[in-house]
Amino acid sequence: MVISVVSITLSVPEELKREMEQHPELNWSEIARQSIREKLEILDKMDAMLAKSRLTEKGALELGRTINRGVARRWKLKESGD
């Protein structure tokens, strides 16, 4: 079995790079691969859950706006001490 390997370039802020350099014992490429793999697994699960959804993009946006308004109201109440 032949496994093809490709390289990608990852850009990080200078401050993050300095922090990473404080831990040369870590394989940052492997950490990035694992993170990408985990994110893809999450996306695959989400796709599977949503495969039978009848929610349209418009409906999802409306639902999101309604939730955002509710959260904003809740935080405003908590900030005022109610």
How far is residue 38 CA from its own chain's centroid?
A: 10
Please, where are the H alpha helices in the chain? 14-21, 28-50, 57-79
Instruction: In whole angstroms, give the CA distance from residue 15 to residue 6.
Output: 27
| Alpha-carbon distances, residue 76 vs 53, 63, 69 (angstroms) | 33, 20, 10
Q: What pLDDT is recorded for position 71?
A: 93
Q: What pLDDT is recorded for position 2?
A: 87
* pLDDT beneath 70: ranges in the chain: 78-82
Q: Give backbone dihedrals phi and psi of 65, rounded to 5 degrees, phi first.
A: -65, -40
Instruction: In whole angstroms, give the CA distance from residue 18 to residue 5.
Output: 27
Q: What pLDDT is recorded for position 81?
A: 58
Q: What pLDDT is recorded for position 13?
A: 97
Q: What pLDDT is recorded for position 80?
A: 62
